[in-house]
Amino acid sequence: MKILHTADWHLGRTLYGRKRYQEFEAFLNWLADTIQKNQVDVLLMAGDVFDTTAPSNRAQELYYRFLCRVAASCCRHVVLIAGNHDSPSFLNAPRELLKALHVHVVGNPSEDPADEVLVLRDKQNAPELIVCAVPYLRDRDIRTAEAGESLEDKEQKLMDGIRAHYAAVGACAEQKRAELGDDVRGATASGAHSQADIPILGMGHLFTAGGTTLEGDGVRELYVGSLAHVGAGVFPACFQYVALGHLHVPQKVGGRETIRYSGSPVPMGFGEAGQQKSLCLLSFEHDIDSWWGGPDTPGAAGKRGASALGAAGAQSAAGADHAPPGPTVELIPIPVFQQLERINGDWNEINNRLVELAADGADAWLEVIYEGDELKSDLRESLESAVSGTQLELLRVKNNRIIDRVLRRLEEEDTLEELTVEDVFERCLNQHEVPQEQRPELLRAYRETLTSLYETDEHAE
């Protein structure tokens, strides 16, 4: 059995105002081809399907066309959970219809943990996999606010709530596996084993301790305080693999092969330019009967002991005897569908790199950060002239010399990231010595401009 783990598509995301639908479409087409090429049986999508809670019509079209294509392929099941960018109700709306395509959607946590435990069946309708599809857990889903509680109390409640939720879902999955035992295998000839050998996988959308992020990748903190980063120990030991979403850099959690973020399939910002994106392909032993021989089967005890090493978390010696083998994990590299290039330095360094890219016929989107000592007020015009007639496209130009001049910090510890948009505007007015009587009208116009940007109809594509 082969399972493909992906996450964080962020369909509909823009990059400095540039729409990326062609890039997303190219990825989804490649993903469907990869599923067919590798004969994938189950696709796991660990949240942030869309970039906003109100995705555009074009983003929805890409999503549903992909699901229809995969449903007609070798892939028997698709499991999707909601991430923090998704609207649970939006994802859940067509849930019953998508079930007909064997697409299982879990948009929000339920009071009954059984609602998040999916038993997936093979072509003969026999259970082959149990997936604990835990969506993004919002604060209100797992914690009850009380008057007068401290920040430390809130953090502890969040941690306890996340741990309790995963524990309840894991316990429900183990109970289901035990109930399915007679349907799947029955007892061995010696009567030594009567529990099903169906693998249990976990899914989640959260921020684990030690997770790696990059500047500009758009990853948001999920909770207030240090509890945004939960430990790997929150996942029950019965999970043989944990498919995670939220962090965009492909990575293991705590160095464990079987707890992973697949990462985003396309760079979310220029900070990820040059990073190799990938998917996680899991392979389970097809001939699992050989792992579940009775006590007289040669090497059976050794195989069962070794299989426990692949399970997520520690297991007792007794529990290890009942753990089917963990999966092998292979990373499938994702091709670059749209080249991003960040160029920084003085004018000579920037211009030389532009010449190299143009000579190579690159069609990259560019972020240029000018760091030269010379004050270059015509930077944008010079760059436009340099890329004219090429396939290069300027998406962002940052002139650090101008920024340093305009944003003179009033206090040493102030940084641009700590300023609001109105703070920046006010400091620009101060730098240019705009008279006080003119400022109210300028501020009003500025706020109206911001409001018009925020109220843009995202569905009007």
Domains and CATH numbers, the chain: 2-333 (3.60.21.10), 339-406 (3.30.160.720), 411-461 (no CATH)
Which own/partner pairs from 424-428 qualify as long-range (CB within 8 Å, at least 24 positions apart)? Answer: none
Position 236, amino acid: P
Rounded Cα gap, residues 264 and 218, in angstroms: 11
Could you say which DSSP state residue 115 is in? G
More confident residue, 244 or 147: 244
Mode of pairing for the β-strands spanning 241-245 and 328-333: unpaired
For tokens 């010379």, what's the residue? Answer: 374
Residue count of the chain? 461
pLDDT at position 84 is 87
pLDDT at position 213 is 59
Report pTM: 0.76
288 falls in which pLDDT band (50, 70, 90)? very low
For the chain, the average pLDDT equals 80
pLDDT above 70 covers what percent of the chain?
74
Half-sphere exposure of 107 (CA within 13 A, CB side): 13
195 falls in which pLDDT band (50, 70, 90)? very low
Query: Is-contact 8 49, C-beta < 8 A?
Result: no
Most confident of 134-143, 280-289, 309-318: 134-143
Rounded Cα gap, residues 85 and 62, in angstroms: 17
271 falls in which pLDDT band (50, 70, 90)? confident
Rounded Cα gap, residues 171 and 147, in angstroms: 32
pLDDT at position 301 is 35
Residue 433 has pLDDT above 90, yes or no: no
pLDDT at position 298 is 36
Q: What are phi and psi of 83, to 5 degrees?
A: -105, -175
17 falls in which pLDDT band (50, 70, 90)? confident
SS3 of the chain: helix, strand, coil, percent, to 5: 40, 20, 45
Rounded Cα gap, residues 3 and 42, in angstroms: 5
Rounded Cα gap, residues 74 and 253, in angstroms: 30
pLDDT at position 459 is 32
pLDDT at position 377 is 78
422 falls in which pLDDT band (50, 70, 90)? confident
3-state secondary structure of 214: coil
Rounded Cα gap, residues 388 and 120, in angstroms: 55
pLDDT above 90 covers what percent of the chain?
50
Query: Is-contact 28 64, C-beta < 8 A?
Result: no
297 falls in which pLDDT band (50, 70, 90)? very low
**Average pLDDT score over residue span 25-45:** 97
Query: Is-contact 238 222, C-beta < 8 A?
Result: no
Query: Is-contact 176 138, C-beta < 8 A?
Result: no
Could you say which DSSP state residue 341 is in? E
How far out from the chain centre does Cα 244 lie? Answer: 7
pLDDT at position 325 is 65
pLDDT at position 321 is 44
3-state secondary structure of 197: coil
Structure tokens at 126: 């026999």
Instruction: Looking at 235-346, list the stretches that DSSP marks H as alpha helix, in order from N- to C-terminal side.
Output: 300-309, 317-320
Listed range (169-183, 202-216, 353-367) with the worst mean pLDDT: 202-216
Mode of pairing for the β-strands spanning 117-121 and 127-133: antiparallel
Residue 24 has pLDDT above 50, yes or no: yes
pLDDT at position 240 is 94
Half-sphere exposure of 346 (CA within 13 A, CB side): 5
pLDDT at position 232 is 82
pLDDT at position 443 is 81
Query: Is-contact 245 83, C-beta < 8 A?
Result: yes
Q: In what order do the strands lie in the sheet with 127-133?
A: 117-121, 127-133, 200-205, 241-245, 256-261, 251-253
Helix (H) / strand (E) containing 61: helix 57-71
Q: What's the pLDDT tens digit per position in 137-166? A: 887 777 666 666 666 777 777 888 889 999
In order of 177, 292, 324, 351, the CA distances from 287 in angstroms are: 18, 10, 11, 59
Listed range (125-134, 151-160, 233-242, 278-287) with the worst mean pLDDT: 151-160
Q: DSSP of 344-406, one letter per residue? A: EESHHHHHHHHHHHHHTT---EEEEEE--SS--TTHHHHHHHHHTTSS-EEEEEEEHHHHHHH
How far out from the chain centre does Cα 208 lie? Answer: 12
Query: Is-contact 231 209, C-beta < 8 A?
Result: yes
Residue 77 has pLDDT above 90, yes or no: yes
351 falls in which pLDDT band (50, 70, 90)? very high
Q: What are phi and psi of 393, to 5 degrees?
A: -135, 125
